[in-house]
Amino acid sequence: MKNKVAAIILGAGKGTRMKSDKPKVLMPVCGKAMINHIIDTLKTIPADDIVTVISPDGDAVKQAVAPYKTCVQSEQLGTGHAVNCARDLLKDFDGTIMVIFGDTPLISKKTFLNSINKVEDGYAVVVLGFRPADPARYGRLVMKGDELERIVEFKDADDEQKAINFCNSGFMAFDGRYLFEILSKIGNKNAAGEFYLTDAVEVAKQMGLKCTAVEGDAEEVASANTLEELALLEQYYGKK
């Protein structure tokens, strides 16, 4: 690792599907909030800057991540919009910027470093992929050699693309020199009217930038939206 490293943690989600008033990223895995597992791993890299995107009523998350910085996503307009909320804090950051979903607490230091190394090798966008036992609902990573051509959502995939078992985990790393320019070019002409971070690959390719993917294992990239999935994370954490 030669350059500086920053992380943007997406932490604005609510815990509704977990039947809790607690923000989702504060749900515990083995006695510690999910987001604090992520921060503890980032400290070991060590990350030079950590910014958490919170909701307007996200004071509890702000307290949990202190003394690290936070920014507010005032409207839920998609993952690309969420990352862009950190623009003022990181627009001049010269190094690798990782984007981490706050409900994926088990991504390893090794995987973070693999992603950082790819950015330092000249890739503007690096996506963390994995090979799940059942890839049905995940976006597919379409590779051409070492180059990531595009991310195709399952519902948009043709039969050939559905046969791909290399899937998108959600985690991405960017060359900080290009991240916010890429985000500024992502549109919201889709059914939800949202700005999707996954469109960053297509935009980067249009800008003449290189994209690639690294591979993690299915357990470390697991996320939790329900109590059942939270219980699975506890199991996976116990194997570490």
Q: What pLDDT is attached to residue 1?
A: 74
Which residues, 6+ apart, have CB-to-CB distance to 83 below 8 Å? 8, 10, 53, 99, 179, 183, 197
Span 4-189+197-239 CATH architecture: Alpha-Beta Complex (3.90)
The residues annotated as belonging to the active site are 17
Q: What are the tens digits of pLDDT across the range 196-232?
A: 999 999 999 999 999 999 999 999 999 998 999 999 9
Give every CB contact of residue 187 below 8 A, 6+ residues apart in sequence. Answer: 195, 199
Task: Give me the residues of the chain with pLDDT under 70, please.
Answer: 15-17
For residue 103, give the 3-state DSSP assignment.
coil
> What pLDDT is attached to residue 15?
66
Q: Which two tokens stand for residue 60?
A: 């509890």
Give me the residue spans of the domains in the chain.
Answer: 4-189+197-239
pLDDT score, position 20:
78
DSSP string covering 160-200, please? Answer: HHHT---EEEEEEEEETTTHHHHHHT----STT----GGGH
Report how far Cα 184 is from the mean position of its chain's Cα atoms.
Answer: 18
Q: Tell me, what's the pLDDT at 231?
A: 94
CB under 8 A, 24+ apart: contacts of 225-232: 225/17, 225/18, 225/24, 225/103, 226/17, 226/18, 227/18, 227/19, 230/18, 230/27, 230/29
> And the tokens for 96?
């690798």
